[in-house]
Amino acid sequence: GAVVSQHPSWVICKSGTSVKIECRSLDFQATTMFWYRQFPKQSLMLMATSNEGSKATYEQGVEKDKFLINHASLTLSTLTVTSAHPEDSSFYICSAPDYEKLFFGSGTQLSVL
């Protein structure tokens, strides 16, 4: 089946720094990718829909200036957490559809000190 690669799988950063997470579709093209966030013991929450060549669509309550999404090619979407703070520590996961199926990356655990 299709493969979505997410990198890095975990990252620790200092408060105030920015962190970039990459999501690649390895053997298919994706005009749309989805970014989710999961806090401990809570649901995976959709943050935004990344659209190749145009602006991302953010879910209600998600700060677009804090979570910058760039979908510059048909196989790559990036999520940048800007000026990260400890409350941004979470598990971030991306997914991409191939026909009617969704394929997920393995996730990124972000810890902000």
Partner 1 sequence: GDSVTQMEGPVTLSEEAFLTINCTYTATGYPSLFWYVQYPGEGLQLLLKATKADDKGSNKGFEATYRKETTSFHLEKGSVQVSDSAVYFCALSAGVQGAQKLVFGQGTRLTINP
Where on the chain is the footprint of partner 1 (CB under 8 A)?
A: 4, 6, 9, 32, 34, 36, 38, 41-46, 49, 93, 95, 97, 100-107
The distance in angstroms from the start CA to the end CA of the chain is: 37
| CA–CA distances in Å: residue 89 to residues 2, 40, 85, 110 | 29, 10, 7, 5
Q: How far is the CB of 15 from partner 1 (least distance, A)?
A: 27
Of the pair 65, 100, the CB lying nearest partner 1 is at 100
Of the pair 36, 67, the CB lying nearest partner 1 is at 36
Angle at 73 between CA 25 and CA 13, to 5 degrees: 75
Of the pair 11, 97, the CB lying nearest partner 1 is at 97
